[in-house]
Structure formats: structure tokens, C-alpha cells
């Protein structure tokens, strides 16, 4: 269970009783999660993983308002899902003796579910926790962890996953981030991917606490600020009526970077924090990313030199993926038993000098 969830102690008793009377000894119980700001709205109840799409974590039941009886009945219907997130997850110790790889930040629960729990996990109405909205936490450090861990997870849990699929996802995320002035996010995505391609001997030997500290200090431009601190006076969030034409211009001019300044005088655009728009920045030099619920956000401005440098680096990382992913994936599969053993965890976290 996560340390920052809000829950009723009764869910512990309900989980124990459910597992006690289960016919299958390997039954796992995945809690639903609801938002603290909207306590009746479900954020997730079980999830799937599709590494071929930009948003690979696919939440089940997101947005359901559980105040309605028909929605509750639909939520009770059981269909198989890939994994249950670890804000609350219960399983028998007899399911497996292995640990997850130390994929902190993103993906340890995904790996665990895909490798050990798929098909044996259930969600049940009445077993749930509440958590603050995750979106404010999804900054460049999260992008680094996700892009570092994704190739490892796919190598271990999806043997058919190819270098071409990884390249398509990484370049897509980086390209859209660059065109949206999210340069730190693009850099974090490329840094994390490059780290995973270094193989298990490098990525698994790093000290997690030190890595986390370094990553948090490395990307400092996309920091949330209040509405007063952002001082955004002139904004425009209206969609363009000629979206296809603007998209074509965006591609041909690399998001407006090749346009003269005189054609980039539109007022700053407003986007939701997690959106990546290929066209919003084409005729602008500034964007405002914000959360509607808190009015927090940050301003992002055009930096043509950094954009071109990141596009060049995106191409180089894509080449590395084509050359090195298959070799790195084979190394992760070869070392999986070692990385998930108790001996590995004890050496890494109890007696680090032994590694």
C-alpha cells in the first residue's frame, strides 16, 4: 500500500475475508482508487499495459461516478486485466518467491502483474482507497523513470516487442514535447531511454536514491507555479479552425521554428498540463500549461536552438534503439532471475558495499 493514500480500515478486513474464502489460492485483490477531490469518481480499478501506444498504462473504469447504481453494477463486472497498481494490492506469498527488479518511480507494479498476477487479480466494490490527483506529479522526473523502465518491462514481459515499436514511441513523445516547448520532458524521455539501452549492469547498479536526486535536480524549467507567479496576462485557448492546414505547416516548419518572427505573434496559448499539441505552438512563442482544478502551471517559451539540438538528439537515440535494443533486451532477460532475487535486493539495499 502507498503511504499517501486515504482509506477506511474496513477494507483490510474485507480483503482478508475475500482471500480466506477464495477457491483459488493464487487470488490477488487489486484495490480501486478514487480521487480525494472527487471522492465518488473512480480513477482506476485494474489496468492494462500496451507498450505500443503513447499512454501505455491503460486504466480500467476511469471516470466512473459510483454514486449511480447502474455504474456500481458495471464496476462489479469482472473481466481480466493485466495488473493491479500498488497503492493497494494483496496477494498470497505463495504466488512467487521472486522480487521485482528495482524499477522505482514507474513500472515495478506493472512488471509484477504482467509476470506473476495476470488473470488471477480481481477488483471488488467496497475495497478502494483515495488519492490526490496524479497529474501534478507527472513531470520530467516521471518521464525519465517511465522511459528508462519501459524498455526493461517490455523486454521481460513482451518478448515480441521490437526495436521499431520502441523507436516509434520514443520519437513520438520527444517530437510532440519539443513542438510544445516541453524541452525538459523531451530531454528526460531521451535520457531515460539511453540509460535503459546501457543494459542491466549499468541501469541496475545505480543507487536509486542518488539517481532520484540527480534526476529531480536536472530538469528545472517545468516547475509548477501559482497563477499569480506565472503573470500570464494575454492568453488564447481557442482551437484553430484550419487544424489540418496548421498541422501541415507545423510539420514543414518544425513547429514554427523556421517561420519568421513576424508570423509568430499570436497570444500565448493555454493547454492542459498533460497535453502535447503539434499545432498550438506554430504561430506562437509562448504556451501556458495549467491544471484547471488548482490553476497551477508554468509558462513555456520557444527556444529554437534547444529545439533543434533535441531533434538531433532524438535522431541519435532512435539510431541507438535500432542498433542496441535487441542486445539490451537479451541481457535483461538473461539477468532477470538475478535482478529479482532476494540476494540481489539484500546486497543492494541492506549491504550496498557487497555489490
Instruction: For the chain, give every domain's residue range.
Output: 10-132, 140-349
CA 322 – CA 51 distance, rounded (Å)? 17
Q: Which residues of the chain have pLDDT under 70?
A: 227-243, 293, 351-355
Per-residue pLDDT reduced to its tens digit, 72-97: 888 888 788 999 999 999 998 888 88
CB 49 within 8 A of CB 114: yes
Residues 6+ apart with CB under 8 A from 322: 163, 164, 167
> Which residues on adjacent β-strands are paired with residue 129?
33
Q: What 3-state DSSP class applies to 271?
A: strand
Helices first, then strands: H and E counts in the chain? 12, 12
Position 354 scores a pLDDT of 52
CB 169 within 8 A of CB 151: no
Position 248 scores a pLDDT of 84
CA angle 331, 337, 56 (to 5 degrees): 65
Query: Taking the alpha carbons of 160, 55, 316, 223 in that order, is the dihedral positive or negative?
Result: negative
Position 317 scores a pLDDT of 97
> Taking the CB of residue 78, how many other CB atoms lie within 10 A of it?
10
pTM: 0.87
Position 30 scores a pLDDT of 93
Return phi, psi of residue 218, to 5°: -80, -35
Per-residue pLDDT reduced to its tens digit, 293-328: 677 888 889 999 999 999 999 999 999 999 999 999
Cell of residue 71, nine digits? 455504474
Amino acid at each position: 500500500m502507498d503511504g499517501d493514500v486515504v482509506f477506511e480500515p474496513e477494507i483490510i478486513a474485507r480483503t482478508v475475508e475475500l482471500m480466506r474464502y477464495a477457491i483459488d489460492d493464487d487470488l490477488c485483490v487489486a484495490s480501486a482508487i478514487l480521487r480525494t477531490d472527487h471522492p465518488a469518481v473512480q480513477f482506476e480499478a485494474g489496468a492494462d499495459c500496451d507498450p505500443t501506444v503513447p499512454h501505455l498504462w491503460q486504466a480500467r473504469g476511469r471516470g466512473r461516478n459510483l454514486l449511480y447504481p447502474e455504474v456500481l453494477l458495471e464496476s462489479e463486472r469482472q473481466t481480466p486485466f493485466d495488473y493491479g497498481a500498488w497503492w493497494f494490492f494483496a496477494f498470497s506469498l505463495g504466488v512467487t518467491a521472486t522480487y521485482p527488479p528495482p524499477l522505482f518511480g514507474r513500472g515495478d507494479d506493472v512488471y509484477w502483474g504482467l509476470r506473476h498476477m495476470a488473470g488471477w487479480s480481481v477488483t471488488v466494490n467496497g475495497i478502494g482507497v483515495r488519492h490526490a490527483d496524479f497529474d501534478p506529479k507527472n513531470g520530467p522526473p516521471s518521464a525519465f523513470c517511465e522511459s528508462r523502465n519501459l524498455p526493461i518491462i517490455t523486454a521481460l514481459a513482451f518478448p515480441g516487442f521490437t526495436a521499431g515499436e520502441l523507436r516509434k514511441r520514443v520519437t513520438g513523445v520527444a517530437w510532440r514535447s519539443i513542438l510544445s516547448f516541453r524541452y525538459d520532458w523531451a530531454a528526460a524521455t531521451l535520457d531515460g531511454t539511453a540509460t535503459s539501452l546501457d543494459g542491466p549492469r549499468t541501469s541496475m547498479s545505480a543507487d536509486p536514491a542518488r539517481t532520484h536526486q540527480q534526476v529531480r535536480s536536472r530538469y528545472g524549467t517545468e516547475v509548477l507555479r501559482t497563477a499569480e507567479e506565472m503573470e500570464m496576462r494575454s492568453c488564447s485557448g481557442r482551437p484553430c479552425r484550419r487544424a489540418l492546414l496548421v498541422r501541415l505547416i507545423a510539420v514543414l516548419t518544425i513547429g514554427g521554428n523556421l517561420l519568421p518572427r513576424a508570423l509568430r505573434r499570436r497570444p500565448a496559448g493555454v493547454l492542459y498540463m498533460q497535453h502535447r499539441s503539434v499545432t498550438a505552438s506554430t504561430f506562437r512563442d509562448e504556451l501556458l500549461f495549467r491544471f484547471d482544478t488548482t490553476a497551477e502551471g508554468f509558462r513555456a517559451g520557444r527556444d529554437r536552438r534547444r529545439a533543434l539540438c533535441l531533434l538531433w538528439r532524438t535522431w541519435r537515440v532512435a539510431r541507438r534503439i535500432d542498433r542496441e535494443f535487441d542486445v539490451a533486451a537479451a541481457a535483461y532477460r538473461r539477468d532477470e532471475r538475478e535482478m529479482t532475487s532476494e540476494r540481489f535486493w539484500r546486497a543492494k539495499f541492506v549491504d550496498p558495499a557487497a555489490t
